[in-house]
Amino acid sequence: MTCEGKQPESYDLFALGVLDGDEREEIQAHLDQGCETCRDAVRLRLAGWSRFAAAATPEAAPSAALRRRLLESVGAAPTRRRFAGLPAWGQALAACLLLISGAAVGWFSHLPSHPVERAVAPAAIPAPLASPEPSAALRGEVARLTALLDQQRQAAAQARREHAAGRAALASAQAELDQARRHTAEASAHLSDVQAELDRTRPALADAQKARADAQARLDAALSERDRAIRRERDLNARINFLQSRVESLTAAANNASAQLAPLLRLAALASSPSLRTLRLQPAEGHAGISGNAFLVDGSSVLVYASGLPPLKPGRVYQLWLMRSREPGIVSGGIFTPGPGGSAAIEVSSPTLATGVNTVAVTDEPAGGSKTPTGAKFFIGVKS
């Protein structure tokens, strides 16, 4: 178990006394402050390296003076020498390991808030001890641990850089998240305002929709009434057109009747005259379908009724001639165009022209008439 940010190999190198720089000072500061984790880690490494050295190094008997000093330092009585027969360098290495072990026990015994049974006098961890001739296994292990520590340092530096980058990315993401939260809060507030405004406008909207429905109903009713009015107008227009056509027809019939009635009325007026004479219209050869009468009131008027007159060629008209017993013997009674069925009613109401008339005749003349008869004769009046 190690403190945060420290590699296990750092404790091994510290226990061997070969850790330099800031790491050694940092571990030493932790130990001075009573860090249980660092204390247990260093104690474990010291014990382990002591066992390793004891297993890798042949037992060597220390010198009598060294043995005596060690025993005096721990307050123990002299005992049987265990290192007799070892070469000098082996005895020295064993003595160094014993010194390291004793010093470690003494150092841990006086750590703050961690009392230890004082089997030996307290002492600080000694500086690294130089062995006259360390074994090849020990040197190889130290080299391996040093290389491994370098690798761990590089990995730790890379991890610290990645950790810093991750913290920076996390801070950026946190800032974006905070900004998004602010935006979300603002949007929520705006949505709440909109919802509140919507709640306030809902009654007005409902009233407006009801008013719109009422207006639509009134509009539909008005449109329906307009359609009915349009239909009534169309019916009335059709009725008016029919009545106008009927009036025009009746007017035409009335005019025609008036035109026909006027001669009859005139004839009725002439019938009371004592000088009234009646002539029958005798058709000329080739016009047997013509019939009619002529009524003469001397010195007053001449009235001629004819029917069956045939249509004339374009540019030709009928002309009435009055044959008299005074000069001029033949005078024009006017031109005329027959109506439907070839009927015609011609009246000459000039007393000058109507004086001394004996008979009447009708000829075919150019448009506008002639001064004397030039065309074919259609009928002539004879005594009935």
The pair of three-digit structure tokens given for residue 55, joined into one six-digit string: 């297993």
Residue 100's closest CA among 14, 31, 23, 36?
Answer: 14
- Kindly give the interhelix angle for 88-109 and 36-56, rounded to the nearest 10 degrees: 160
Q: What is the pLDDT of residue 58?
A: 55
Residue 174 lies in a domain: no
* DSSP state letters, 267-310: HHHHHT-TTEEEEEEEEPTT-TT-EEEEEEETTTEEEEEEE-PP
Q: What is the pLDDT of residue 300?
A: 87
Residue 188 lies in a domain: no
Question: One digit per residue, pLDDT tens: the chain, 384 residues?
Answer: 667 767 788 888 888 887 877 888 888 888 898 898 888 888 888 888 777 766 655 555 556 665 666 566 545 555 444 444 445 445 445 555 554 555 444 444 444 433 333 333 333 444 444 444 557 877 787 788 888 888 888 888 898 899 899 899 999 999 999 999 999 999 989 998 998 988 888 898 888 989 999 999 999 999 999 999 999 999 999 989 999 888 988 888 777 777 667 666 776 777 777 888 999 999 999 999 999 999 999 888 899 999 999 999 999 999 999 999 999 999 999 999 998 889 999 999 899 999 999 999 999 999 999 999 999 999 999 986
Domain boundary among 134, 158, 174: 134
Q: What is the pLDDT of residue 365?
A: 96
Residue 239 identity: R
Residue 187 lies in a domain: no
Q: What is the pLDDT of residue 22?
A: 83
Residue 193 lies in a domain: no
Q: What is the pLDDT of residue 128?
A: 43
Q: Evaluate if pTM is beyond 0.85.
A: no
Residue 210 lies in a domain: no
Domain count, the chain: 2
Residue 196 lies in a domain: no
User: Which range of residues forms the domain containing residue 29?
Assistant: 8-134
Q: What is the pLDDT of residue 134?
A: 58
Q: Beta strand pairing status for 344-348 and 301-307?
A: antiparallel
**CA separation for the pair 246, 356 (Å, rounded):** 47
Question: 115 preceded by cis ω (within 30°)?
Answer: no
Domain boundary among 78, 103, 134: 134
| CATH label of the domain that carries residue 345 | 2.60.40
Cross-strand bridge partners of residue 361: 321, 380
Domain boundary among 95, 113, 134: 134
Residue 112 lies in a domain: yes
Q: What is the pLDDT of residue 57?
A: 55
Q: What is the DSSP-derived secondary structure letter of residue 241? A: H
Maximum CA pair distance of the chain? 213
Residue 238 lies in a domain: no
